[in-house]
């Protein structure tokens, strides 16, 4: 064990799925995926400090919609799981500063879980080996391992089995943030319902070779041509107004746009930083979204930015 700190703050990124290929539902209710994750520069911060008992607070946009009950809050569950592994009490006060949209399809809850694991591991000096941390991440949720690792990765299984992917340079993104969220299980259910209604039998999900090449080469035009999200039709079915957001981004000059994960955030790829700023300004002015943010990806995974006694 290392020497425990008194306060630890971890920064953890949002993600966009540049490809989300979804197979049929499995016996356990999850879907096999070919999930190409890219971490992007919108971050939550998780701060851990000693306390008599586990408690969570949350601030920032949408924080009223984050459950603070330790049974339901993913960051609190992460602390409980890590403490149990080491046979200690989860005596910690967690504070989450949110910037990642809540229930927005950008893995905000997963980010908070990964951030809490790293913050508590540092606070408690438990020095959990990385493979053990990744196992805890997978227990907490399909996207949590990627939130810890960041960068770019292919997720197989339900998204938790990661292989890192090479990326050249940085891609420029704009995220159109929506009012309110979408429930991930509801979007997967809608995807299954629409496929059943249309008699569609999805093939085994596989990553698109040209998309992996585009990431490796840092080729934004090639990436734009290969972006794909099998959940997009379902997200649009549950939130038809997203069609106007996607159209607005295209009109504003984005190379391509898609729903981010299970939505309702929409993601637009831009040629460069200037183009991204223009697309973001047009989206903000157009009124089809609550706000628009320009940023880049890949971004680093969960990172300790402050640790002091």
Q: Which residues are known catalytic residues? A: 15, 143
- Least Å from the CB of residue 200 to ligand C5P: 16
Residues whose CB falls within 8 Å of the CB of residue 47, separated by 6 or more in sequence, listed in order: 7, 8, 9, 10, 94, 95, 97, 119, 306
Q: How far apart are CA 302 and CA 290, in angstroms?
A: 27
Q: Which of positions 187-206 make contact with ligand C5P (CB under 6 A)?
A: 188
Contact 134, 147 (CB under 8 A): no
105 is in an annotated binding site: yes
Given the complex with ligand C5P, which of 31 and 172 has the nearer CB atom? 31
- Least Å from the CB of residue 260 to ligand C5P: 14
12 is in an annotated binding site: no
106 is in an annotated binding site: yes
Q: What tokens appear for 238 in the block?
A: 């549950």
110 is in an annotated binding site: yes
Q: Which of positions 129-188 make contact with ligand C5P (CB under 6 A)?
A: 141-143, 158-159, 184-185, 188
| Residue labelled with tokens 């809540």 | 102
Binding mask 11-50 for ligand C5P (x = CB under 6 A): ------------------xxx-x-----------------
Contact 137, 117 (CB under 8 A): yes
Residues whose CB falls within 8 Å of the CB of residue 162, separated by 6 or more in sequence, listed in order: 37, 134, 145, 146, 149, 153, 154, 155
101 is in an annotated binding site: yes
Backbone angles phi, psi at 79, to 5 degrees: -60, -45
Given the complex with ligand C5P, which of 76 and 276 has the nearer CB atom? 76
62 is in an annotated binding site: no
Q: How far apart are CA 110 and CA 7, in angstroms?
A: 21
Number of residues that bind ligand C5P (CB under 6 A): 12
Given the complex with ligand C5P, which of 236 and 281 has the nearer CB atom? 236
Given the complex with ligand C5P, which of 182 and 220 has the nearer CB atom? 182
- Least Å from the CB of residue 157 to ligand C5P: 7
Burial of 34 from C-beta contacts in 10 A (0-12 / 13-18 / 19+): buried
CA distances to 90, 111, 180 from 84, rounded to whole Å, are: 8, 21, 34
CA distances to 86, 135, 288 from 81, rounded to whole Å, are: 9, 11, 40
Task: List the end-to-end C-alpha distance of the chain, in Å, as a whole number.
Answer: 16
Given the complex with ligand C5P, which of 62 and 155 has the nearer CB atom? 155
Binding residues for ATP: 101-111
Q: Which residues bind ligand C5P (CB under 6 A)?
A: 29-31, 33, 141-143, 158-159, 184-185, 188
Binding residues: 101-111
């Amino acid at each position: 064990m290392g020497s425990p700190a008194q306060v630890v703050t971890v920064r953890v990124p949002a993600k966009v799925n540049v490809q989300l290929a979804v197979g049929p539902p499995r016996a356990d209710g999850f879907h096999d995926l070919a999930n190409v994750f890219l971490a992007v520069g919108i971050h939550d911060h998780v701060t851990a400090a000693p306390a008599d008992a586990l408690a969570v607070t949350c601030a920032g946009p949408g924080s009223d919609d984050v459950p603070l009950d330790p049974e339901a809050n993913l960051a609190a569950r992460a602390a409980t799981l890590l403490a149990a592994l080491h046979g200690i009490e989860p005596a910690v006060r967690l504070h989450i500063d949110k910037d990642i949209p809540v229930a927005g399809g950008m893995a905000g809850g997963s980010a908070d879980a990964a951030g809490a694991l790293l913050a508590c591991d540092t606070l408690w000096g438990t020095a959990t080996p990385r493979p053990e941390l990744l196992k805890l991440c997978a227990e907490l949720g399909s996207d949590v391992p990627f939130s810890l690792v960041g960068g770019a990765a292919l997720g197989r299984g339900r998204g938790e089995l990661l292989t890192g992917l090479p990326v050249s340079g940085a891609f420029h993104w704009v995220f159109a943030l929506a009012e309110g969220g979408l429930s991930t299980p509801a979007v997967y259910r809608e995807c299954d319902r629409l496929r059943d209604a249309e008699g569609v039998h999805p093939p085994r999900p596989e990553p698109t070779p040209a998309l992996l090449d585009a990431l490796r080469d840092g080729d934004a035009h090639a990436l734009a041509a290969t972006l794909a999200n099998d959940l997009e039709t379902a997200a649009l079915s549950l939130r038809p107004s997203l069609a106007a957001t996607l159209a607005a981004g295209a009109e504003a000059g984005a190379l391509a746009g898609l729903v981010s994960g299970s939505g309702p955030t929409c993601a637009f790829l831009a040629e460069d930083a200037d183009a991204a700023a223009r697309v973001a300004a047009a989206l903000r002015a157009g009124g089809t979204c609550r706000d628009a943010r320009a940023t880049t990806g890949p971004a680093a995974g969960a990172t300790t930015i402050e640790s002091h006694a």
